[in-house]
Amino acid sequence: MAEVYKNFIGGEWVDSESKRTFENRNPANWDEIVGIFPKSTPKDIEKAVEAAKNAFKFWKKVPVPKRGEILGRCGDIMVERKEELAKLETREMGKVIKETRGDVQEGIDTAYYAFGEGRRLFGITTPSELSNKLCYTVRKPIGVAGLITPWNFPMAIPCWKVIPALLSGNTVVIKPASATPATSAKLIEILVEAGIPEGVVNIVHGAGREVGEALLAHPDIGVVSFTGSSEVGSRIAEVCGKTLKRVSLELGGKNAQIVTSDADLDLALEGVLWGAFGTTGQRCTATSRLILSEKVYDTFIEMLVERVKKIKIGNGLDETVEMGPVINKGQREVIHNYVQIGKDEGAKLVIGGEFYEEGECADGWFYKPTIFKDVKPGMRIEQEEIFGPVLSIIKFNTFEDAIEIMNDTIYGLSSSIYTKNVNLAMRAAEEIEAGITYINGPTIGAECHLPFGGVKNTGNGHREGGLTVYEIFTEIKTIYVDYSGKLQKAQIDTSVEK
């Protein structure tokens, strides 16, 4: 039975003023309706922002460790409800249950990290150039945060944004992806149960074009955080630029794994399988390219294809299934279209490249794990983000070539190298242009207490996660305290008194 959800505005669960609704469905079984949600309008956004603006007046004054305690309790509740949340997430997003447990765990980690950070949130103290004067900085909240989240991590990414925004003392209006709104609604429920006061957190469901735009454009929103495509990100930056809002963007990727000839090939194989086909390739951090040494090219591809043939595909609620469907029909068409482009460009399709016409997998948006070899640098399948289970293999000769292929993209989120040669590993860490480099690990698997984000068109210079996320959600205030009892003039009183 489909559950009916509402918006949460000013401490109350309410319908949209439009009275209209939309539904979301299970991508593994399109007949199954997961939930029914309010189809909101800019008027609902208006109300949510107003509630958040009022709540900001007191929330900003709550001591940070107290805010942290509430967020810690949110982590506790998520621990208790982990299994139920993971199941719901698999139903609405499609990824396999082991992965949705991981997604919820990332939310829990983020909550506990914030709980600890609530007792730090450090500023700096530094000497003054004048005597008897103290200089220090504190972190202040910005105001109302407008958060727009994607469908591929329906729990982790909302947590990455909502939790540090709240710890910092901001109030929040979140618009989750309309493909996966149920998990985010549960997060709000949990925050309320944990003790977040009314108005501090608000959720408005609906389409990006209608409610997302209204949120961005609202003059009372102080900071926007968005994860999604570079195309939408650029539009968001434009809208936010007009009203000089701070905006943090986490956008596309075309991540690659290099495998050198001396690498542990079995390990590299496990890495690329997990990186390329985990989450059905629908991560910003997914391994979309494999840059393979010519010395191991044929052997490694043979090993890879043998293993890919054995990947069990199906409904992610089955514990034995390794790969679920893609999110919806539209996305499957995008993927299939790229496969056609790859063929037309002259890349060699070695496995996959089709969807299921019959059997259980025909009930949802499944796509076979797909590998192209002999992909040449510059081909569209080598350059453009596909966001699906498609891996492009490119051959390299020298290490320098491998790095050049790796870096020749407009994106720069994640990257990986498998090698036993410590010099090559360290050179890769130094020379790869990306926000994240893994040595002997796949391109996926970021931990919540480390900075997350990328260079070039992957974003606009911010980093979520770790301490760096607090740069996004706080303003720094510099405080000078002169306890000399006299007027001291900086830059003017330059003499050193005895």
> What positions carry a catalytic annotation?
250, 284
Q: If binding is defined by CB under 6 A, does position 226 make contact with ligand UN1?
A: no
CB of 293 within 8 A of CB of 259?
yes
- Please say which residue, 44 or 109, places its beta carbon nearer to ligand UN1: 109
CA distance 329 to 335: 10
- Please say which residue, 231 or 344, places its beta carbon nearer to ligand UN1: 231
CA distance 270 to 276: 10
**Using CB under 6 A, which of 7, 100, 149, 152 touches ligand UN1?**
152
Say which residues have a Cβ less than 8 Å from residue 335's Cβ, sequence separation at least 6. 326, 367, 370, 386, 387, 388, 389, 390
Give the DSSP per-residue string, 159-211.
Answer: HHHHHHHHHTT-EEEEE--TTSHHHHHHHHHHHHHHTPPTTSEEE--S-IIII
Q: Candidates 55-63, 121-129, 278-286, 354-362 — which segment interacts with ligand UN1 by CB under 6 A?
A: 278-286
CB of 116 to ligand UN1, least distance (A): 19
Q: Candidates 69-77, 283-291, 338-346, 486-494 — which segment interacts with ligand UN1 by CB under 6 A?
A: 283-291
3-state secondary structure (DSSP) of residue 472? helix
- Please say which residue, 197 or 445, places its beta carbon nearer to ligand UN1: 445
Q: If binding is defined by CB under 6 A, does position 248 make contact with ligand UN1?
A: no
Q: If binding is defined by CB under 6 A, does position 285 make contact with ligand UN1?
A: yes
CB of 378 to ligand UN1, least distance (A): 25
- Please say which residue, 99 or 213, places its beta carbon nearer to ligand UN1: 99
- Please say which residue, 175 or 283, places its beta carbon nearer to ligand UN1: 283
- Please say which residue, 108 or 350, places its beta carbon nearer to ligand UN1: 108
Q: Candidates 47-55, 84-92, 310-318, 443-451 — which segment interacts with ligand UN1 by CB under 6 A?
A: 443-451
**Using CB under 6 A, which of 284, 350, 381, 390 touches ligand UN1?**
284
Q: If binding is defined by CB under 6 A, does position 339 make contact with ligand UN1?
A: no
Count of alpha carbons within 13 angstroms of residue 296, beta-carbon side: 21
**Using CB under 6 A, which of 144, 276, 406, 446 touches ligand UN1?**
446
- Please say which residue, 223 or 446, places its beta carbon nearer to ligand UN1: 446
Chain-centre distance of CA 255, in angstroms?
14
CA distance 318 to 441: 27
Task: Spell out the alpha helix ranges (H) of 249-328.
Answer: 265-277, 297-309
CB of 399 to ligand UN1, least distance (A): 25
CA distance 91 to 27: 8
Q: If binding is defined by CB under 6 A, does position 59 make contact with ligand UN1?
A: no
- Please say which residue, 147 or 284, places its beta carbon nearer to ligand UN1: 284
CB of 12 to ligand UN1, least distance (A): 31
CA distance 200 to 56: 7
Q: Candidates 197-205, 364-372, 421-429, 441-449 — which segment interacts with ligand UN1 by CB under 6 A?
A: 441-449
How many C-beta atoms surround the C-beta of residue 234 within 10 A? Answer: 13
Q: If binding is defined by CB under 6 A, does position 184 make contact with ligand UN1?
A: no
**Using CB under 6 A, which of 162, 292, 371, 444 touches ligand UN1?**
444
Q: Which of 408, 453, 415 is nearest to 251 (CA)?
A: 453
CA distance 478 to 472: 17
Number of residues that bind ligand UN1 (CB under 6 A): 9
Q: If binding is defined by CB under 6 A, does position 255 make contact with ligand UN1?
A: no
CB of 105 to ligand UN1, least distance (A): 10
Give me the count of residues in the chain: 498
**Binders of ligand UN1 in range 92-121 (CB under 6 A):** 106
Q: Which of 305, 380, 374 is nearest to 340 (CA)?
A: 380
Say which residues have a Cβ less than 8 Å from residue 307's Cβ, sequence separation at least 6. 269, 273
Q: What single letter denotes the amino acid at residue 314?
A: G
3-state secondary structure (DSSP) of residue 233? helix
Q: If binding is defined by CB under 6 A, does position 445 make contact with ligand UN1?
A: yes
The interface mask with ligand UN1, positions 298-317, x = CB under 6 A, is --------------------
Which residues contribute to the site for ligand UN1 (CB under 6 A)?
Answer: 106, 152-153, 283-285, 444-446
